[in-house]
Structure 1
Amino acid sequence: MKGMGMMSREPRKSMSEINVVPYIDVMLVLLVIFMVTAPMLTQGVKVDLPETTSDPITQDKDVETITVSVDSNGAYFLEVGDNSSEPMSLENVRAQVSKILSQRANAEVMVRGDEFVDYGVVVRLMAELQAAGASGIGLITDAPQEQP
């Protein structure tokens, strides 16, 4: 009676394979999300902090030092060698430091910030100095006074 239109059915075997295509789609979406958000998590100015107390820096006579000072009012002053400048804007500091570093690539850049200046002012200054081409920025501090 097979020929009469009835087909005999064989019992179905259980499928032992897992369809992984939806899992791959989810994984790719998560990968894209992490790739987009990861750079946003690592912002900031790169500063190499010492692990112990630091010794004074010995200055090389052949290397010129550029010192940018921030007073308690947030005004910026640029000192190159023995020459000091008048108060200037952050944009002018960046332009001047960039100009100096283009002529003298091995110059050291140091920041002297007043104790009472806002932390954000110094951080913005360091970010602008980095953008001007300063590869390493040092912070100038006074040695702590010994207690009697």
Structure 2
Amino acid sequence: MAMPSKAHEEDGELSEMNLTPFIDVILVLLIIFMIAAHSSAVSQTVDLPGSRAAPLAVTKPPVVLTIRADKSILLNDHPIGSTGLAVALARAGTDPKDRVLLAGDKAVSYDKLMEVLDDLRAGGYTHIGLVGVERGIAK
């Protein structure tokens, strides 16, 4: 077989494709997408504006149920005896439409918390809020 002459190579087209520029463009696009995805996934700090609306007037103090670590239950800082939660709430003059705030100790088991929530629901109380301590937000 005869080897092509140098003159023939210069006149003809190259049969090889140079992939280096294509790979460079793909890598740059990959880096751009990685940076864009990271910045959209990170929570952004927002400086919320103030409001000129007057605070809502509270006509009734909130109903607060406290579950201590020893599983005793307090209704507005008064211990509930063996009468039960529904009877204690009725004696306190609460309405099932009232909001009940539930504050539980960290040591209270999830089972005990669900038991109290079931008792509240059985008594018709469905507006229940859980009370917690505000922690500093790590930045």
Q: TM-score, normalised by structure 1?
A: 0.48
RMSD: 2.4
**Residues 1-148 of structure 1 mapped to structure 2, 5 A cutoff:** 60-79=57-76, 84-89=77-82, 91-99=83-91, 100-101=93-94, 104-147=95-138
Structure 2: state its 5+ residue gaps: 1-54
Alpha-carbon separation, structure 1, partners of 2:74 and 2:123: 16
Structure 1 unmatched runs, 5+? 1-57
Distance 1:128 1:105, change over 3 A: closer
Contact between 2:97 and 2:125, CA under 8 Å: does it hold in 1?
no
Report the number of matched residues: 84
1:87 CA drift (Å):
5.0
Structure 1 residues 87 and 105: CA distance shift in structure 2, 3 A: closer
Report the secondary structure of 1:138's partner residue: strand
Q: Secondary structure at the match of 1:129?
A: helix
Contact 1:111 1:139 in 2 (8 A): yes
Q: Where do 4+ consecutive residues of structure 1 move more than 4 Å?
A: none
Query: Quick check: which has more Rg, 1 or 2?
Result: 2
TM-score for the superposition, normalised by structure 2 = 0.51
